[in-house]
Amino acid sequence: MPTPRPETLGFNAGRLSRLDTFLKTRYLDSGRLPHAQILISRHGELAHFSSQGPAREGSSRPIDEGSIFRIASMTKPVTSVAFMQLLEQGKVALDTPVQAVLPEFSDVGVYAAGGAGVPFMSKPLAEPMRMLDLLRHTSGLTYGFQNRTNIDAAYRETRSNAGPVENWHGAADLDTFIRDLATVPLEFVPGTAWNYSVSTDVLGAVVQRISGQPLDQYLAEHIFKPLAMPDTAFWVPPEKAGRLTDCYAWVDPKVGRLMYDRGEDSVWLTPPTLVSGGGGLVSTALDYHRFCQMLQNGGVLGDVRILGRKTLDLMTANHLPGASDLSSLSRSMFSETQNAGIGFGLGFAVTQDPARAMIPGSVGEFYWGGMFTTSFFVDPVEDLHVVFMTQLSPSLLYPIRREIKTLVYSALI
């Protein structure tokens, strides 16, 4: 690892050090988080890297640059990049109907009535679900854990909810997942609303069908190996098992956090049955830093080009209908972002108006996070990116992502 050089990269070192103090005082000493790791890069160089807290319960060994974390929905941008690689080869387009690649969706309609034991009634689609809708979460799909509608209740009754860990390691593979999903109506007409959903899992199936490779193999061959991301995968092999951190879930104020997935006997130590392009990856801060640097560079890292520059420009534009933001279009009870002033591109949230978002930042900054409170953001204006790692679900329990952004930007000079 290179030595961080904050002063030569436009940071006030004293202000930047407040970030570590803040994380320790607010989140680690209080027991809110088990550990915290943050990487800050600017102009292609490391400005800050720090790790605090034990990797596993009952151990004095702290997390470090080799620690492996479950990154959950930070998988989504990776799968989106994979799809855009196929688009660049002319094998698919943004307006390609999903059913053209996944014929299981040919007869899917929009919810009209039913559920809770009553057979569903649906209306035919006036326009098909398109690949664009999968990338920007306007597909009409949902997540079962949202607990809002009869549709997400139906997801919980099938194998169509790719959120719970148990489903990734259950009996359903990706093709079975698609077949199950296509038996349930959509929540709304594609393109008319935004709802955080299994859309990117469906996109992973699209990548698998078009490429002719299993999704995990495609990502390894076309993204992880070229970018030198050796610790990013859908499972942790035996020789790396000791590096996987413990993962926790918050129960309630009286109980606090409890173990969700213990590192030493984690389900991620065996290959999953359902390869989840929406949430299944593990990674390290240094690996994901290389992915972010590729994005920051316009699709290239060193002499390896993953995507074209104009393709990245397209991905990081706001694709919400009518150039709206999530506060006006979202139906979701859960997402990895605040909504005001935030648009959505092809796999990322995109800041449209920092004033409305009420947080320092830049127009065009793009980002996402995962259910275990991991997150990243890339700021092309400041030539900056940040990767944050910890392991606590749910991710929106604390405003830590906004706090980290505020502290990082306050240190810029």
Average pLDDT over residues 51-62: 95
Which residue type, as a one-letter code, is found at position 240?
Answer: K
Query: How does 253-273 read in b/e, with b if 16+ C-beta sit within 10 Å?
Result: eeeebeebbebeebebbeebb
Cα(274)–Cα(248) distance, rounded to whole angstroms? Answer: 22
346 pLDDT more than 70: yes
Q: Say which residues have a Cβ less than 8 Å from residue 141's Cβ, sequence separation at least 6.
A: 181, 186, 187, 195, 197, 198, 199, 202
22-42 pLDDT, tens per residue?
Answer: 999 999 999 999 999 999 999
241-257 pLDDT, tens per residue?
Answer: 999 999 999 988 787 78
CB 46 within 8 A of CB 39: yes
Q: Which of the four pLDDT bands, split at 50, 70 and 90, describes residue 336?
A: low
Which helix (H) or strand (E) segment is 152 a member of?
helix 150-157
Which residue type, as a one-letter code, is found at position 256?
Answer: G
Sign of CA dihedral 23, 27, 28, 29: positive
Residue 82 confidence (pLDDT): 98
Residue 144 exposed, middle or buried by CB count within 10 Å (0-12, 13-18, 19+) = buried
Count the neighbouring beta carbons within 10 Å of the beta carbon of residue 386.
26
Please, what is the average pLDDT of the chain?
93
72-92 pLDDT, tens per residue?
Answer: 999 999 999 999 999 999 999
Q: 190 — phi, psi (to 5°)? A: -55, 135
CA distances from 406 to 31, 71, 400, 403 (A): 22, 22, 10, 5
Query: Is the pTM for the entire model greater than 0.75?
Result: yes
Angle at 39 between CA 35 and CA 44, to 5 degrees: 170
Radius of gyration of the chain (CA): 20
Cα(198)–Cα(168) distance, rounded to whole angstroms? Answer: 13
Q: Say which residues have a Cβ less than 8 Å from residue 399's Cβ, sequence separation at least 6.
A: none
Nearest residue to 185 (alpha-carbon basis) of 100, 118, 115, 136: 115
13 pLDDT more than 70: yes
Tokens of 388: 């944050």
Which helix (H) or strand (E) segment is 86 a member of?
helix 75-88
137-156 pLDDT, tens per residue?
Answer: 999 999 988 878 889 888 88
Q: Which of the four pLDDT bands, split at 50, 70 and 90, describes residue 116?
A: confident
Tokens of 5: 């050089």
Residue 138 confidence (pLDDT): 97
